[in-house]
A and B are shown apart, each in its own frame.
Chain A
Amino acid sequence: MNTPIILPPLNTWFRRGLAAVLVLAGWPVTFAVELPSEVKGPVLLPRAVLDLPVEQAILTAPPQVPPPITRKHAARVVIHLEVKEEIMRIADGVEYTFWTYGGTVPGSFIRIREGDVVEFHLNNHPSSKVPHNIDLHAVTGSGGGASSTFTAPGHSSQFTFKALNPGLYVYHCATAPVPMHIGNGMYGLILVEPAAGLPPVDREYYVMQGDFYTTGAYGEPGLQTFDTPRSIDERPTYVLFNGSVGALTGDNALTANVGETVRLYVGNGGPNLVSSFHVIGEIFDKVWLEGGTRIAQENVQTTLVPAGGSVIVDFKVEVPGTFVLVDHSLSRAFNKGALGMLKVSGPEDRVIYSGKEVDAVYLGSQAEDGAQAARRQAEIKAAIATEMKANPAIANLTMQAQMEKGRQVYMQTCFACHLADGKGIPNVFPPLAGSDYMLEDRDRTVRIVLKGMSGPVTVNGVTYNSVMPPLNEVLTDQQVADVVTYIYNSWGNQGAATTVDDVRRVKSESR
């Protein structure tokens, strides 16, 4: 048998001629003769690399991230990434021809480990209209792989690289016209985990921003076309997280539970805009600035993500709610779609975040005058109170007012059990009208109103055993005074008025 001949990388035409001669002469000629001269053939890997375990990379669609790498050694990782040009939704009623890595925008998330030797296959789908390639910023070498992966429609390229530097890197298409390839969605992230790994977290997500240039305005329905002048002028119609309006909102929102630590791998494909990445209502506890391997900063509100760059942020979610991801260049968020959501569920912690406590009228420039008026009002009230106490006629009027207010409290709060006539419900709720138990100790009554009561009690010779809820958080001290005054002076009962001071005294005594 003749040995197959692999021709040296000579001039293409010379090689073709030589191949033809060899074919005629009956020599078996390998596929190598069909390769263009710049194809170098498979790399001869050293023994140490060949001995590494081989694994297929797990690729995930956004916003998911492949699981952390647990192995403590390098591996030979095989990656197949398919380029496909597809019409997909960019907004409700609006479609766009995206050029994708793996069928999504951004492209599949790739996760490898520092020291891995990667065999990378770029497959350009036969239905593609144009050639594509890939420049992985994680690659050390000419074009980051671009020159080795320039691939015609319906063809496939392969190259090998060693992941020398850990970090979070952007990959993107680098075929001319590049702004169009990137503007059509050709970017994604590759994480090269440091040998020691990253600190464990509860949840990891993949978010990538990109700017889009359509001929129609934002929201204009139908299939939209890439707009070259807008792209050149850097005037996007859409600025999006994960490739479409609503990709990370509503039912598509990211989720977490209170108490968990969330890590976002954030990239920015551009092609043109720099992102001021911010999560409304959260503070990034740790920031791996620009996707590097050192926690460069802690406690950050907004972090810059360069076009063709990345960032890793960690934050613990302490309270429930919806936390909105934005590019804090806010016209992009408000008018061009740069919005995402993280929905955190779990119990409230009102000390960390109370929710709205007060909604009050604010008088602006009159506020200072208002405060003076309030002080003046308080002084007048105090003077009136002193005057009223000293004047029996007015004191009597005061009791009438208290009776009326107390009746209102009673009809809202007490009437359901003790009934309007104060007779209660036989054997269930004791009467207040003519109640020996109530009338013998006014302070005890006040205490029961404040703190509630349960267990057996004998009223007018009948034993009751039910529960009365405490009302100290429901009624103000004044209302307690009013309602006690009311029940001590209704249905034939007769007693003195109960004052706010009485209520406060009982409160302090029973504390």
Chain B
Amino acid sequence: MPTFRPILLVLGLTAGAGWSLAADMVQVPAGTYAPLSRSVKEPAEVPVAAFRLDVLPVTNAEYLAFVTAQPQWRRSRVSRLFADESYLAHWAGDLEPGPQAPADSPVVRVSWFAARAYARWAGKRLPTTAEWELAAAAGYLTPDGKNEPEFIRDLYAWLARPVPPVLPAVTGAKANLHGARGLHGLVWEWVDDFSTAMVTGESRADGGLDRDLFCGAGAAGARETSDYAAFMRQALRSSLRANNTTTSLGFRCAQDLPAVPANSAP
């Protein structure tokens, strides 16, 4: 990791889009994603093609490279349309993360617009909900972490902790089966189609729609009512607007596999 940041900085400034950093990405094999809740017209399972996903969420150091190269995303310059008032509010300055945002900690207080812009700049994209959930469903040893007591314990232990004032380094996160680290246990992460989970009305009156999230009615039409962690992720995505930022919401990037499969897959 220590050598990664300057490299990215150089790449970001010089090469820009089109580069892939395969060494820092893992390949998530094709699979299916069962949406937590859906309308009767929607399929119970969505096929997900194989894709590449960043090993780690984007750090403050990496994000600094981005705002250095793309001044319109600096805190003082960003449009309120694209990021709310708390955008990077914990940074010491426009180009100075400072003590509240250590270099190796995940960047948070970034909007969906900003995360998307970063991904585009890095030659990548944000993962879809289906991709992210497929990757994050894996436990430490198996494709379905729900059967791994240690994984479940770690997951819920993280959910039970308030957000610390200073986030830990991404390097401390455990790898899952696919080699991705910190999908759980560091920060929430933006997904490209987060707004499909948007709750617009009072759900208990909206029977049959895929937004039944409030109170007991939240369980109506849900696939797996005991997956509280999935409900929490869905609720969080639903509560967000694209320009919102929070103290525990960051992101990582994804990428399609090259047309010709790489022969050096991890």
**A→B interface (CB under 8 Å):** 16, 19-20, 33-34, 36-38, 85-87, 97, 126-131, 133, 135, 142-143, 146-147, 150-155, 174-178, 180, 215, 223-229, 232
Q: State whether A87 touches B215 (Cβ < 8 A).
A: no
Nearest B residue (CB) for A135: B215
CA distance A153 to B156 in the complex (A): 19
CA distance A229 to B149 in the complex (A): 12
The 10 closest A-B pairs by CB, nearest first: A131-B239, A147-B202, A176-B218, A143-B202, A142-B202, A152-B239, A177-B231, A174-B215, A153-B246, A176-B213
Q: State whether A178 touches B246 (Cβ < 8 A).
A: no
Say which residue of B156, B163, B218, B226 sits within 8 Å of A178 (CB atoms).
Answer: B218
Chain A residues with CB below 8 A from B84, complex form: 34
Say which residue of A97, A177, A232 sits within 8 Å of B161 (CB atoms).
Answer: A97
Q: Judge if B2 is at the interface, Cβ distance under 8 Å.
A: no
Known: A34-B243, A146-B202, A147-B201. A130 touches B214 (CB 8 A): no
Q: State whether A225 touches B157 (Cβ < 8 A).
A: yes
Known: A135-B215, A152-B236, A176-B218. A34 touches B81 (CB 8 A): yes
Q: Judge if B80 is at the interface, Cβ distance under 8 Å.
A: yes
Chain A residues with CB below 8 A from B5, complex form: none
Chain B residues with CB below 8 A from A225, complex form: 153, 156-157, 159-160
Known: A142-B201, A153-B248. A127 touches B218 (CB 8 A): no
Say which residue of A130, A143, A178, A215 sits within 8 Å of B236 (CB atoms).
Answer: A130
Q: State whether A150 touches B157 (Cβ < 8 A).
A: no
Chain A residues with CB below 8 A from B199, complex form: 147, 150
Chain A residues with CB below 8 A from B216, complex form: 178
CA distance A87 to B160 in the complex (A): 9
- Shortest C-beta distance, B196 to chain A (Å), equals 13
Say which residue of A34, A87, A177 sits within 8 Å of B218 (CB atoms).
Answer: A177
CA distance A368 to B235 in the complex (A): 71
Q: State whether B228 touches A97 (Cβ < 8 A).
A: no
CA distance A86 to B163 in the complex (A): 10
Say which residue of B163, B200, B204, B231 sits within 8 Å of A37 (CB atoms).
Answer: B200
- Shortest C-beta distance, B246 to chain A (Å), equals 4
Nearest A residue (CB) for B228: A177
Q: State whether B215 touches A232 (Cβ < 8 A).
A: no
Known: A126-B86, A130-B236. A154 touches B246 (CB 8 A): yes
CA distance A227 to B152 in the complex (A): 10
- Shortest C-beta distance, A174 to chain B (Å), equals 4
Q: Judge if B59 is at the interface, Cβ distance under 8 Å.
A: no
Beyond A143-B204, A147-B202, 8 additional pairs, beta carbon < 8 A: A38-B200, A38-B201, A130-B232, A153-B163, A155-B239, A180-B231, A180-B232, A227-B156
Known: A146-B215, A175-B213, A215-B153. A34 touches B200 (CB 8 A): no
> 10 pairs across A/B with beta carbons < 8 Å?
A33-B81, A34-B243, A36-B198, A128-B246, A129-B188, A142-B205, A154-B246, A178-B216, A226-B156, A226-B159
Name B's interface SS. Answer: loop
Q: State whether A86 touches B244 (Cβ < 8 A).
A: no
Q: Which of B80, B84, B246 has the most CB of A within 10 A?
A: B246
Chain A residues with CB below 8 A from B205, complex form: 142-143
Chain A residues with CB below 8 A from B203, complex form: 143, 147
Q: State whether A36 touches B241 (Cβ < 8 A).
A: yes
CA distance A33 to B239 in the complex (A): 17
Known: A19-B81, A226-B156. A178 touches B162 (CB 8 A): no
Q: How large is the interface on B (under 10, 10 to 19, 20 to 34, 35 or more residues)?
A: 35 or more
Known: A130-B236, A131-B235, A152-B236. A228 touches B226 (CB 8 A): yes
Nearest A residue (CB) for B216: A178
B 232-266 contacts with A by CB, 8 A? 232, 234-236, 238-241, 243-249
Q: State whether B239 touches A176 (Cβ < 8 A).
A: no
CA distance A232 to B163 in the complex (A): 26
Q: State whether A131 touches B247 (Cβ < 8 A).
A: no
CA distance A130 to B218 in the complex (A): 16
- Shortest C-beta distance, B51 to chain A (Å), equals 26
Q: State whether B81 touches A20 (Cβ < 8 A).
A: yes
- Shortest C-beta distance, A236 to chain B (Å), equals 16
Chain B residues with CB below 8 A from A226, complex form: 156, 159-160, 228
- Shortest C-beta distance, B75 to chain A (Å), equals 15
Q: State whether A152 touches B246 (Cβ < 8 A).
A: yes
Chain A residues with CB below 8 A from B161, complex form: 87, 97, 129, 223
CA distance A492 to B217 in the complex (A): 99
Q: State whether B162 touches A143 (Cβ < 8 A).
A: no
- Shortest C-beta distance, B212 to chain A (Å), equals 8
- Shortest C-beta distance, A200 to chain B (Å), equals 36
Please encode chain B, from 61 to 78, with 1 for each CB lying within 8 Å of some chain A CB and 0 for all others: 000000000000000000
Q: State whether A85 touches B80 (Cβ < 8 A).
A: no
Q: State whether B81 touches A176 (Cβ < 8 A).
A: no
CA distance A228 to B153 in the complex (A): 11
Chain B residues with CB below 8 A from A16, complex form: 81
Known: A142-B202, A154-B246, A226-B160. A130 touches B235 (CB 8 A): yes
Q: Which of A19, A133, A224 has the most CB of B within 10 A?
A: A133
Known: A153-B248, A178-B218. A232 touches B226 (CB 8 A): yes
CA distance A174 to B232 in the complex (A): 12
- Shortest C-beta distance, A169 to chain B (Å), equals 15
CA distance A16 to B163 in the complex (A): 32
CA distance A87 to B86 in the complex (A): 24
Q: State whether A146 touches B231 (Cβ < 8 A).
A: no
Q: State whether B201 touches A129 (Cβ < 8 A).
A: no
